[in-house]
Amino acid sequence: MHYTGYLAIHDMESELEREFEVRGMKFAFKKERLYLVEGDGPDMIWAQMTARNLEKITITSINDGASKLKEKGRNWGLFTVGHHRRAQLIQDELPKYNTKPIPFRHPLPSSPMGFWTLWEQDEILATQVTSSPFAIGEMDFQEDKVMPPSRAYLKLWEFFTVYAPEAIAGGTAIDVGSCPGGWTWVLRTLEFDKVHSVDKAPIEKRIMDLGRIDFRQESAFGLDPKDFGEIDWFCSDIICYPERLLTLVNKFRAAGTVKNFVCTIKYQAETDWEATMKFLEIPGSRIVHLHHNKHEVTWFLKGANA
């Protein structure tokens, strides 16, 4: 028997539990915020990391645990669900890996990052097949504390580093719900030829001073796709109901002029599952909870016109 392990996001276990319900799934075991499903399971939005083919390994000592893990792979991210000290002593015997914050668009680690936990005193659960090249799905950037006017830029940094590293510069981007200007700044550093930036609020002057930004102070919901021509990236971080965002996205999809979309779906107190599932039904698209997302998720669609 093998398991699929889902590590819920800190303080958001209820979101993952609700997602199990929505998808008609049942978990077999739970310890701390690690959930085990028997056999294979799908990718889950509210898991910060998915561990596939988890197998149980009986160990007789700390050294035995470390050597059995080393036989299976080099890199191991640990999440402890109990026996914390014993687990850490095993981890200390394993090869070290780089945990330093990385720069924007730094190439992703190419070697697999495994996952393990000490499930019982003498029983490890481990796999080398995980959804993230970073230990337990956590990553940090070398932040820019000078230019970005808000920390929202970290979401777009994470997206273009982890989920769209192949995205090429040049072309046109549109950033809706853009103020104070963090995402527009990221798009400018990516050297798009033109960034259309739209918000009801004003954008910061120093972002405008970067040049090649067409700022429009108006509601994004009134935009006409015909006014923009071909768009390489449609980016939205608008604060609005998910259904409203969906209508806007569908308007631009229907125009057939947008190659790629990346949008934050923001929730009020409750996650709007109905709208979320409608986004997921858009062919070829995915929804992830970025490490830099809060009570919101990121929907993206690459190669919409392919």
Ligand X SMILES: C[S@@+](CC[C@H](N)C(=O)[O-])C[C@H]1O[C@@H](n2cnc3c(N)ncnc32)[C@H](O)[C@@H]1O
- Total interface residues for ligand X by CB under 6 A: 23
Nearer to ligand X, 137 or 177 (CB): 177
Q: Does 150 bind ligand X (CB under 6 A)?
A: yes
Nearer to ligand X, 106 or 200 (CB): 200
The Cα-based distances of 203 to 34, 76, 195, 196, 264 in angstroms read 42, 44, 13, 12, 19
Phi, psi of 71 (to 5 degrees): -65, -30
Q: Does 206 bind ligand X (CB under 6 A)?
A: no
Q: Give the C-alpha separation, 297 to 293, whole Å.
A: 6
The Cα-based distances of 306 to 196, 229, 237, 246, 278 in angstroms read 23, 17, 24, 21, 21
Candidate segments 91-99, 116-124, 193-201, 293-301, binder of ligand X by CB under 6 A: 193-201
Q: For residues 285 and 279, is the Cβ–Cβ distance under 8 A? A: yes
Nearer to ligand X, 32 or 218 (CB): 218
Candidate segments 3-11, 36-44, 217-225, 295-303, binder of ligand X by CB under 6 A: 217-225
Angle made by CA atoms 161, 167, 170, in degrees to the nearest 5: 125
Q: Which two three-digit tokens encode residue 52?
A: 């596939």
Nearer to ligand X, 66 or 223 (CB): 223
Q: Which two three-digit tokens encode residue 141?
A: 């950037």
Q: Binding residue for ligand X (CB under 6 A) from 56, 84, 200, 251?
A: 200
Nearer to ligand X, 54 or 290 (CB): 290
Q: For residues 6 and 37, is the Cβ–Cβ distance under 8 A? A: yes
Site pattern 166..185 for ligand X (x: CB under 6 A)? ----------xxxxxxxx--
Nearer to ligand X, 19 or 237 (CB): 237
Q: Which two three-digit tokens encode residue 114?
A: 């495994």
Q: Give the C-alpha separation, 160 to 227, whole Å.
A: 26
Candidate segments 83-91, 137-145, 164-172, 215-223, binder of ligand X by CB under 6 A: 215-223
- The residues that bridge with 215 in the sheet, in sequence order, are 197
Least distance between ligand X and beta carbon 183 (Å): 4
Least distance between ligand X and beta carbon 301 (Å): 18
Site pattern 229..258 for ligand X (x: CB under 6 A)? --------xxxx------------------
Binding site for ligand X (CB under 6 A): 149-150, 152-153, 176-183, 198-201, 219-221, 237-240
